[in-house]
Structure formats: structure tokens, C-alpha cells
Amino acid sequence: MLLKRFFVFFGAAASSSSPSSYCCYYWSYSMITTGGEEGRSGSSTFRRAAAEWAGRSSARPSPTSSPPGDLRGRIHGEPHLQARKDLPVGPVRFPDGGIGGRGAEPVRAAERGAAVRVQLPAEHRRDTGEVVYAGAGREMHREMRMISLNFMSNTRLRDHLLPEVERHALHVLRSWHEGPPFSAQDEAKKFSFNLMAKNIMSMDPGEAETEKLRREYITFMKGVVSAPLNFPGTPYYKALKSRSAILTVIERKMEERMRKMNQKVEIIEEDDLLGWAMKQSKLSKEQILDLLLSLLFAGHETSSMALALAIFFLEGCPKAVRELREEHFEIARKKKDCGESRLNWEDYKKMEFTQCVINETLRLGNVVRFVHRRVIRDVHYNGYDIPRGWKILPVFAAVHLDSSLYQDPHQFNPWRWKSGLSSAVSLPPTSNFMPYGGGPRLCAGSELAKLEMAVFLHYLVLKFSWELAEPDQALAHPFLDFQKGLPIKVYSIT
């Protein structure tokens, strides 16, 4: 049994002098892990940890140049840096970064180009597979990324994915009726999951296999962020079981596809991501399994939460709903005059205020608050020396909620994104806007995510008005989640 230390990071931008300036505040908490090599040899693990710490301690920079913080052992971390987790309120003033706790690795909340690489927590790497898309090595990541980019290219978005997004949005919204409240968050998750399951493995919504996979995925997500206590009855144990069940479904789909390919049977599902990965790459079976599981997570969890946040923010801003509805009524009217019913790419490009709503939702909501990186060479950053091997966490929420960059940063104001009406203090908003990361690890599905939100909002405002059935708020622990599931009541628009 091993007592481990972990850090949770949030933050606010430290200065407006550079859009890459970050700061963080954090607290540490203890976890008990059992099983595996660490659980079987606790004393040797402690000796290894002590040896590693001695090496790190001797290699650290001088006290005058190291980030502020306390490297002495503490069970409860830095109490003066403990923080609220509720969305979207963040800190007001904190230093550029810091270190804390002898049991954890030194950390920084900053990023500097090629000096860093992706470094996910060990628990995340283990729970989501031996090879994870976001944490893959350079060559493997390039291969996986090219598959994803080609599959979600602008051509495919226009010709194939737009009709699919529209079909799945209508499938969900047609089940909405006036009456008792229901969870908007669950409906958003259903929409995005069905869309990803269809386009990853050609699984249709409503089918028994699809619903079973969705239930397993919900169990997986509830446990993967819990304390790693791997014994029957714990959320973590259930999550590992669900992960195995999900991979079994994906593996079975792969075997069916391979059998058809060997028998030269026509495969009508070959336009899904599974078919692309099997035909257009040199990835191994295990790598394809991990790629599909990773993209199922990335394409479902973040998109659904962004959509739920848009519903939440719009409910509190009637003026934005009115302008949004006017935009979409005009699009629908012109389509009716032309005798058309389905959306096309030109319609999507006309949704200008919708894009403002999407940008503001992503800025204020911060679905992805930070990412994990590791320094691969010594870096001098903002007056500090950051040694090779230290972990850093770029905090996107820090920039998005910085009052030196955005006026009234905690206010939902989609008009700040209108051309000529920028409410940024120093730079145009897009220069300080990173909802999908940046650089070579920029989210490959960012355009698909925005398309999903735009199409769903199009039909939502045309068909319904809505209100919160009871007060609710989203908390980050570490993934965003509405405490009550965002219960809403809808009213049909006649």
C-alpha cells in the first residue's frame, strides 16, 4: 500500500504582457493505491521514491530562480493556495506558478513551444490504455493525428458529417416534450455519444448494443476520475470493468470487419473511423483499439459539456436567445422559400452570431481547463529556471478569465466576439483564445465540435424555449459536471 500525492490545478493569468503567461493555484490530496507492483512492494517503493526525490532535489535550481512554493512534505499541500472549484469563478491574484509538496513532482503552469511534451498522469495512462492518443509518442501521435485530421477534414465535415450531425440532433430533440423537467446534460451526452458511436463504429442510436455501450461508458467516466481503489464495489473497480467491456465491443467490431475484408464481402460501414484506421494506417490492433477509445472520450465528453454549458448560459441571457433565434429563423425562412429542408454548408457559414455564442461558451465555460506537459530541456521562463523533467500545466482558464485581456471576464457576453465590437483590453480575443489547445497538439476535432453545437442550437431555438427547473451549477472535479444534471423545462414554439 502506497500513499501517493497528486495536484489539481486551476488558475488566472498573471500578466497581460504576454498571452503565454500563466499562473496556477492548487492543492494536493492523498490517495491510497493497492495492487500492482506498488501495492506488493510498498517498502521498496518508498525507497525508490526517496532516491528519486534526492536526485530531483539536488538537480533543482537555486532558491532565487525556482518557482515559489514549498518542497517540504505536507499532507494537505499549500493551505493558502486552496481554492473554490465552482464554475466559472476563478482566482483574482496569484503568482506566476509554484511548486509544492515533497511527495509530488515539481510542477509549473506554463508552456514554451518545443521545450515541452505531453505528459499525462500515470493513472490516466493506465486506465485508458497502454497507448493513449493524447499521450502517444511523437511518431505514433503523428500517425494517429493524420487519421483523425483526414477523417474530420473540411470536405468530410461538409459532405458527410453535417448530415449526420443534423440527423442525430433531430433524433434527440424530437423526443423532447412539454411537461416534467429532464436533464439537459444527459440529453447533450446522448446526442454526442450517439454521433461518435455512429461515426467511429457505425453503431445506430437506440439499438441495444449502442445503449449498452453508452451505459458502460457512463460507468467508466464516473470511476476513471475517482480514487484508484481497485477492489469490488468501488467506482474505480467498476470503471475498469466497463473499460474492458467497451474494448470488447470495439474489438468485436474490428474482428467482424477484418473477416469481411478477408472474405471480400462488401462493407457498408467502411466510411467510419474504424474502417479508416484499418485501411489507411499501419497501426497495430492494440493501437487502433486505444485510438478509438480515446476519440470516443474526446469526441463525446467535451462536446456534450460545451453544449450543456451553452444551454445553461443562454437561459440566463434572454437577449442572446432572441438574437440567436432571429438568425436561425431567417436561415429557415430562406430555405423554405427555396423548397429546401436540410441544412447545408452555406447555411452553416451564415450562423455568425451562433459562432459568437459558441466562442463565448468555450471561453467562459473552459471545458478543458489545463493540459499536462513535461519540460524536455532546461527553460528560463519569466524569471524562473525550469529544469528538464519538470511537469507543467498550461492553464487555459487563466487566460480566458483574465480581466486584463477581457472586459468583465465572468460575464456571458457573446457580442464581444462580433467584428468591430471586441471587448478585449489589449489584444483581439482570438489572440488569447485557446479552448482547443494549440500548436501540434491542437484538438483535431475542434471544427466538428463547433459544427455539433451550431446545428443543435439551430433546431433548439427553432423548436423550443426553455428555463431551468431549479438552480444548478457546473463544478470541475476534475471534469466539468452539473451538480443536478442541468434540469430544464421546455416549451414548444408554435
- How far is 226 from 384, CA to CA, in rounded Å? 34
Q: What residues contact residue 176 under an 8 Å CB cut-off, 6+ apart?
A: 182, 187, 463, 464, 490
Determine contact, residues 195/168, Cβ cutoff 8 Å: yes
The answer to whether 24 is a known ligand-binding residue is no
Closest to 239 in 3D by CA, of 251, 221, 212: 221
> Amino acid identity of 350?
K
Return the C-alpha torsion angle 216, 220, 221, 224, nearest 10. 180
**Burial bucket for residue 338 (CB in 10 Å: 0-12, 13-18, 19+):** exposed
| Enclosing H/E stretch for 278 | helix 273-279
Q: How far apart are the first and last CA of the chain?
A: 62
Quote the radius of gyration of the chain (alpha carbons, Å): 23
| All cell numbers assigned to 151 | 477523417
- CA distance to 149, 151, 216, 319, 338, per residue, from 300 (Å): 17, 16, 14, 29, 34
| All cell numbers assigned to 243 | 473499460
* Alpha helices, DSSP H, located in 128-183: 138-151, 154-156, 162-173
| All cell numbers assigned to 263 | 472474405
Determine contact, residues 216/245, Cβ cutoff 8 Å: yes
| All cell numbers assigned to 350 | 451564415
Instruction: Cite the annotated binding site by residue number.
Output: 443
Instruction: Cite the annotated binding site for heme by residue number.
Output: 443
